[in-house]
Chain A
Amino acid sequence: MKTIRLFPTIITVLAGLYFLVPLIATFKFSLEMKRGELSFAAYQSVFQSDTFVQVIGFSVVASLVAIVLGALLVVPTAYWVRLKLPKVRPFIEFVSILPLVIPSVVLVFGYARIYGTGSFLPLTMTETGLNVLLVIGYVVLSLPYMYRAVDNGMAAIDIATLTEAAESLGASRLRTILAVVFPNVRSAIVSGAFLTFSISLGEFVITSLLNRPAFGPYMVQIGQDYAYQPAALAVMAFAVTWVFMALMEFFGSRRPGQRIFPRLRVSRFRRVGS
């Protein structure tokens, strides 16, 4: 028995070391900015930079817009396909996973050529156009994950029956989507949203090739200019990724229609009473 367990234990310990050592080393490195003592000076220096605040703000806004746009695109489509056109589901699914095959560098290359000078849609010629293109790029990158999250959410509820029930109670199609379908896949959308957010927040390739003042290119610049700040950024990025993944897991495993936050007891009583 003992000989059987020895080998797995060695593997697990080695893997644990490989995972933990870079994290510990990076964290320790990030504390060593001031010679001879451990301090959070590197973190302070990151947060005190005006550029940092600006690029984070830009990236957060771009990511949030991408999430909204992605949800608006994916939720009605996934709903419609499941309800009316089940035959085209494989095709739509195939299209939605295409971004996994097409690298972002190829995608942005195409954007630069097709939406450049003399194009019918010269998006790369204006600041606003570039921002629009950036958000669209984020939507495309997150399409596989968003679509799968929402489609799985829809699979968990009986879309057809719910729609029929809503219709027999006289709800319009828009109302059905807003009041019945959307709340039931809310957790799935939020789960997809967190993944979208973690993909686009520090995205480098599309962002830098579109010349946007966002977080990804800023990090690369910091990496070239400083020694300790990058380590601080890496530690924070890891922490943020962890939080996002935990939230994604949390929302991804919720029951359909479950509230995002549990409702307070008091309000439930009041509702019953009134």
Chain B
Amino acid sequence: MADIARQPDETPAGLSAMERAVIDTAAPVALGLSPTAVAGACRARLNWAWLGLVPFVGFTLLFLVAPVFYLFHGAFTNAAGQYTLENIVALTGAQIGAAYWLSIRLSFVSAAIGTVTGGLLAYALILGGMPAWVRKAFNSFSGVASNFAGVPLAFAFIATIGRLGLVTLLLRDAFGINLYASGFSLFSFWGLALTYLYFQLPLMVLMITPSMEGLRPEWREAAEILGASRGQYWRMVGLPVLAPSVIGCFLLLFTNAFGTLATVFALTGSNFSVVPIVLYNQIRGNVLYNPNLGYALALGMVLIMAFSNTLYFLVRSRAERWRK
């Protein structure tokens, strides 16, 4: 039995996969062995192949799954180790509830603005008859800008429309508009939304481009022949076809904004209480005075991001219907 189990591996190395398969199944049968022996041989080979996954699965278990699972488990226990829903309920409390609400609003606003402006720019570039070099320039710029996030992005915006930023001074000296007196601040909700837009807009352009290019000219021609106006074409053909992609992109932008920490931190320090910042402060110094509440905070963050990503995958499969 043991010999047979090892047999597949001892076949000459030069055989093709199909020849191997034939030998694997045919040889034991030819030897008059029972089906159980064949199954045993197959199982032995399968087990051996699975071993190749050990490094990857081991690594991800240790450094991706286990840490998150530990936090999730902690979210449902109290300091004494008993199971409880207290921490989850406490998430809706004044301080943390406000952090979630702020995070969701900021992510929603920045994703919505990013979706609309990025969609319009992609439309202008692809369907608006812009010269090829303009399209190319924007495309490669978008690749860079969507990756230009974090601390340097914050610095760039401070130098631009911070209190002493060049645009702030230019508006004040040349046009007499005092941005900061009129209530705007880079270190506020709208300032952050404007900063996020610098990576959200290009990301939207990159993601929506394939779908825009997939809008077939035949559809517009057919609509025109049937007497549709430009507006009718967009309302009844273009936008419905694009809608799933647009919604999908919005969801990705939302997740992208929701997880942003470095940009906020570099702009506002630890004062602007979005969820990632609260979590950051909690890790640094247990500011919530309750480790398990910190775990619940992390759980909530992952759940929101997982929810919006799952929605994205569902929507995407629908968006791909037209791309055949």
Residues of A in contact with B (beta carbons under 8 Å apart): 4-5, 7-9, 11-12, 15-16, 18-19, 21-23, 25-26, 28-30, 73-74, 76-77, 80-81, 84-85, 88, 92, 95, 98-114, 136-137, 139-140, 143, 160, 164, 167-168, 170, 195, 198, 202-205, 209, 216, 219-220, 223-224, 227, 230-231, 233-235, 237-238, 241-242, 244-246, 249
Are the C-beta atoms of A170 and B283 separated by less than 8 Å? no
- Could you tell me if B64 and A25 are in contact, using CB atoms closer than 8 angstroms? no
Q: How far is the CA of A231 from the CA of B161 in the complex (A)?
A: 12
Closest chain B CB from A192 CB (angstroms): 14
Task: Give the chain A neighbours of B197 by CB distance below 8 A.
Answer: 18
Having A19-B198, A110-B68, one finds 15 other A-B pairs with CB under 8 Å, namely: A5-B128, A5-B129, A11-B128, A25-B166, A26-B155, A80-B49, A102-B64, A102-B68, A105-B276, A107-B68, A108-B283, A110-B70, A202-B151, A219-B151, A224-B269
**Among A103, A136, A198: residue with most chain B CB under 10 A:** A103
Interface membership of B266, Cβ < 8 A: yes
Q: Is the CB of B68 within 8 A of A95?
A: no
Please give, as numbers and ranges, the residues of chain B lying within 8 Å of A19 by CB-CB distance. Answer: 141, 145, 198, 202
Known A-B contacts A12-B130, A88-B53, A101-B309; the reply to A111 vs B63 at CB < 8 A is yes
Which of B12-20, B78-86, B231-239 lies at the interface with chain A? B12-20
The CA of A203 and the CA of B266, in the complex, are separated in Å by 12
- The chain B residue with its CB closest to the CB of A70 is B59
A12-B125, A19-B145, A76-B52 given; A160·B17 CB < 8 A: yes
Query: Closest 10 interchain pairs by CB?
Result: A110-B67, A8-B128, A237-B152, A8-B124, A168-B14, A29-B159, A234-B155, A80-B52, A204-B262, A25-B166
Contact of A29 among B65, B165, B276, B309 (CB under 8 A): B165
Chain B contributes a number of interface residues (CB within 8 A of A) equal to 81
Q: How far is the CA of A102 from the CA of B283 in the complex (A)?
A: 16
Whether B280 lies near A205 (C-beta < 8 A) is yes
At the interface, yes or no: B324 with Cβ under 8 Å from chain A? Answer: no
Cα(A86)–Cα(B210), bound, Å:
28
Chain A residues near B67 (CB-CB < 8 A)? 107, 109-111, 113-114
| Residue pair A230, B120 in contact (C-beta under 8 Å) | no
Residue of B nearest to A243 (CB): B144
Shortest beta-carbon distance from A12 to chain B in Å: 5
Is B289 among interface residues, defined by CB-CB distance under 8 A? no
Q: Judge whether A113 and B150 touch: CB under 8 Å.
A: no
- Say yes or no: A8 contacts B166, CB within 8 Å: no
Contact A112 B167 (CB under 8 A): no
Contact of A202 among B52, B64, B152 (CB under 8 A): B152
Q: List 11 A-B contacts (CB under 8 A).
A: A8-B128, A26-B155, A103-B276, A105-B280, A109-B67, A111-B67, A137-B63, A140-B63, A227-B164, A245-B144, A249-B143
Known A8-B130, A26-B156, A92-B56: A85·B50 in contact at CB below 8 Å:
yes
Task: Specify which chain A residues have a CB less than 8 angstroms from the CB of B159 in the assembled complex.
Answer: 22, 25-26, 29-30, 230-231, 234
Cβ of B179 < 8 Å from any Cβ of A? no
Whether B266 and A219, one on each chain, are in contact in the complex, defined by CB atoms closer than 8 angstroms, is: yes
The distance from the CB of B281 to the nearest CB of chain A, in whole angstroms, is 10
Max chain B Cβ within 10 angstroms of own Cβ: one of A9, A11, A106 = A106
Chain A residue nearest to B60 (CB atoms) is A95
